[in-house]
Amino acid sequence: MRQSNQLNRREFLAAAGAVAVGAPYLIPSGVRGANERITTAHIGVGGMGGYHLGDMIERREKGQVNIAAVCDIDETRLAGALKKAGPGVQPYRDYRYILQRKDIDAVVIATPDHWHGVQTVHAAECGKHVYVEKPACCTIEEGKAMVAAAAKNKVSVQVGSQGRSEPEAYLAHRYLVNGNIGHISRVDCFHYPSPEDNNPVPDSDPPPELDWDLWLGPLRWRPYNKRHCHGTFRWLLESGGGQIRDRGAHVMSCAMWWMGADGTGPVAIEATGTHPTKGLWDSAVLMDVTYTFKNPDWVLTWRQMPDDQLPPAEERTGDEPGGKIVRPGYGAIYRGDKGEFIHWGGDGGTWAEKKARQWEPPAGAKDVYKSPGHKEDWFKGIRTGAKTIMNIEAAVGVANLCILGNLSFTLGRKLEWNQAKQTIVGDEQAQRIMSRPQRYPYHL
Amino acid sequence: MSMQNKAVNELLAGIRDASDKVRTEAWLSAGKAGAAAVKPLAKVMTDGDLEIARAATRALWQIVRHTGRPGANEEKRAVEKELIELLSDDQPVPVRREVLWMLSEIAGRSSVKPVAELLRNAELREDARMALERIPAKGAAAALKTGFEAAPEDFKPNIAQSLRKRGQEVKGYPSQKLAPSKETNVKPL
């Protein structure tokens, strides 16, 4: 299936006799040729996983990738994905079969959030490059393990906060770093509320096509409930974390990137909000989180607010390259000492305010990295060892913001954070919740 | 009726109220009710009305989160003591499971022995193992070690994993985390 005679990394290792299990690779990933297809497998093929599979099928037609396998714990979804992917693709229920296959270079992980950390670490330990959906992780401990596993095994990880790779994200970034609104001391993210469960149902037996044990994976065991499964997992703190961990991982990703704040973290986090009044879901409906950064000093806020308080979306004709704003319900306002800038969306749809789109950089203006596309940027990482635009360190930093916001909300108190030590300060209970024991054998 | 009993009764009345709003206000206010409300709330956690049961569970969590705050050690120990008593065999399994996770957040030394005893309970042993893994007291690691020696073969790998997480050396029983075990019924095209 390969279109190149060049050795891939695994073949190189075998030829070199570097076979020690778990030993770090000592060669850069640049061994792969630029024209060689990357052989991928898809873990989780519903929701965003279905999108990624479709995207990779298109890339297969263009000669960029091979698709070797699809995997899901829902047999109906798996059969559908297999039909879509076509002959020659192997179906699996258990992702660990994929990790054992030597012919697979990279995995696309689009499972529920509570699996991201474990599956990314396992894939890295088996030498696979990883594209994992956002948010990167559900606990501080998972994030640390992901960073360590990627570094130790020298694999390229791209996290699916694809807003960073959007064309208008580049324009916004360039506009801001050139001081067009002056020194920025505050970024206010806005989002519409998380939903309440208006149709709660009792626990029941899982449907026959679903492997509930594998769906839960690292989570503590609990009975199946259809309001805590495909899609709906998003609204439970232990698995999805609500809007802040869903869209926060997009909008705050843009903020950290544009503010040059990757690798930094807040010193204090304080959250308030409202709770659902019934049903299984427990993530904040309305929410107000303030992150205080020091050296440099700035404030980042995340606010889930009633629809009628959201800033109005900019009028666009639809003829602009990015088209009309179809996701006006979230974004961020950047407040500088010379003006303000707003963007909407922040994920696969990112729309920058007109003044950034129309700004012509003068001679000597600073330029910023322009992603060739989120997957293309990942492929570049695989081939050259270059850091991806949403590399695992940056993604964990953003996920930690989401985690700490939810933790402050859950505990009902302000938290202090030590970025250098990656720990909460002076609150033993909060420190314990930085990690979450995992069911055997679905652990880091 | 003491002020404390009155407060607990008012809390329970709110938890049992037919109004979603009243129940929510009640469980959100539960933190300050403290140890006195633990057992009365546990009784409501298995109420036949799902929303009432859920409100009671959330109220108990609220107490755990409130008493876990810095500087509230005495309150925390009082709540812990009540929670430990809810681990007994006469309590429903779902309540005991929830209580194990509550204790994992606030427990000190006095919880170690009663939690470790549940390593022998087929339904609760995995949750007990995870709770012990999280409790920082040195005794928790020692209890895991003792539990490991006494555990049946099928549970030894689980405890071995917790011991390794706690920095202990364990001979044998390597983690099977990367070993696939579940076949699909979907056939390739």
- Can you give the pLDDT of all 444 residues of chain A as single tens digits? 333 333 343 333 333 333 232 332 323 333 366 778 999 999 999 999 999 999 999 999 999 999 999 999 999 999 999 999 999 999 999 999 999 999 999 999 999 999 999 999 999 999 999 999 999 999 999 999 999 999 999 999 999 999 999 999 999 999 999 999 999 999 999 999 999 999 999 999 999 999 999 999 999 999 999 999 999 999 999 999 999 999 999 999 999 999 999 999 999 999 999 999 999 999 999 999 999 999 999 999 999 999 999 999 999 999 988 999 999 999 999 999 999 999 999 999 999 999 999 999 999 999 999 999 999 999 999 999 999 999 999 999 999 999 999 999 999 999 999 999 999 999 999 999 999 999 999 999
Indicate whether this complex's ipTM tops 0.85.
Answer: yes
Q: A86 and B136: CB-CB below 8 Å?
A: no
Candidates A324, A327, A273, A332; CA nearest to A299 is A332
> For A42, what's the count of Cα atoms within 13 Å in the CB-facing half-sphere?
29
Chain A positions in Cβ-Cβ contact with residue B51 (cut-off 8 Å): 200, 278-279
User: CA of B161, closest CA in chain A: separation in Å?
Assistant: 8
User: CA of B1, closest CA in chain A: separation in Å?
Assistant: 31
Candidates B39, B23, B41, B43; CA nearest to B84 is B39
**Closest chain A residue to B155, measured at CA:** A440
Chain B positions in Cβ-Cβ contact with residue A439 (cut-off 8 Å): 126, 130
User: CA of A155, closest CA in chain B: separation in Å?
Assistant: 18
Domain B1-106: give its CATH architecture.
Alpha Horseshoe (1.25)
**Closest chain B residue to A431, measured at CA:** B105
**Closest chain A residue to B25, measured at CA:** A277
Query: According to the 3-state scheme, what is the secondary structure of chain B?
Result: CCHHHHHHHHHHHHHCCCCHHHHHHHHHCHHHHHHHHHHHHHHHCCCCCHHHHHHHHHHHHHHHHHHCCCCCHHHHHHHHHHHHHCCCCCCCHHHHHHHHHHHHHHCCHHHHHHHHHHHHCCCCHHHHHHHHHHCCCHHHHHHHHHHHHHCCCCCHHHHHHHHHHCCCCCCCCCCCCCCCCCCCCCCCC
Instruction: Decide if B66 touches A, using CB distance below 8 A.
Output: yes
Query: Is residue A441 reached through a cis peptide bond, with omega within 30 degrees of 0 on the bond before it?
Result: yes
Mutate to test the interface with B, among A75, A107, A440 (most CBs of B within 10 A): A440
Return the residue matching tokens 């997992």.
A233
Closest in A99, A220, A426 to B130, CB measured: A220
Q: A443 and B158: CB-CB below 8 Å?
A: no
pLDDT in tens, B52-86: 999 999 999 999 999 999 999 999 999 999 999 99
Domain A166-370+392-433: give its CATH architecture.
2-Layer Sandwich (3.30)
3-state SS, residue A81 = helix
Instruction: Decide if B9 touches A, using CB distance below 8 A.
Output: no
Q: A440 and B157: CB-CB below 8 Å?
A: yes
Q: A220 and B177: CB-CB below 8 Å?
A: no
Instruction: Decide if B109 touches A, using CB distance below 8 A.
Output: no
Tell me the longest C-alpha to C-alpha distance in chain B. 73
Chain A positions in Cβ-Cβ contact with residue B180 (cut-off 8 Å): 92, 94-97, 100
Instruction: Quickly state the pLDDT bin for B4 (edges 50, 70, 90).
Output: confident
Q: A277 and B20: CB-CB below 8 Å?
A: yes
Rounded Cα distance, A159 and A374, in Å: 9
**Domain residue limits, chain A:** 9-163, 166-370+392-433
For the domain A9-163, what is the CATH code?
3.40.50.720
Q: A211 and B136: CB-CB below 8 Å?
A: no
Report the C-alpha dihedral over residues A146, A149, A150, A155, rounded to 10 degrees. Answer: -140
Return the residue matching tokens 């020692």.
B142
Instruction: Find how far residue B25's CA is from the centre of its chain.
Output: 24
pLDDT for position A17: 30
Evaluate if pTM is beyond 0.90: yes
Closest in B28, B58, B133 to A437, CB measured: B133
pLDDT for position A32: 60
**Closest chain B residue to A91, measured at CA:** B188
> For A70, what's the count of Cα atoms within 13 Å in the CB-facing half-sphere?
32
**Closest chain A residue to B48, measured at CA:** A202
pLDDT for position A16: 31
**Closest chain B residue to A78, measured at CA:** B186
User: CA of B106, closest CA in chain A: separation in Å?
Assistant: 6
Please report the number of interchain residue pairs, chain A to chain B, with beta-carbon separation below 8 angstroms: 124
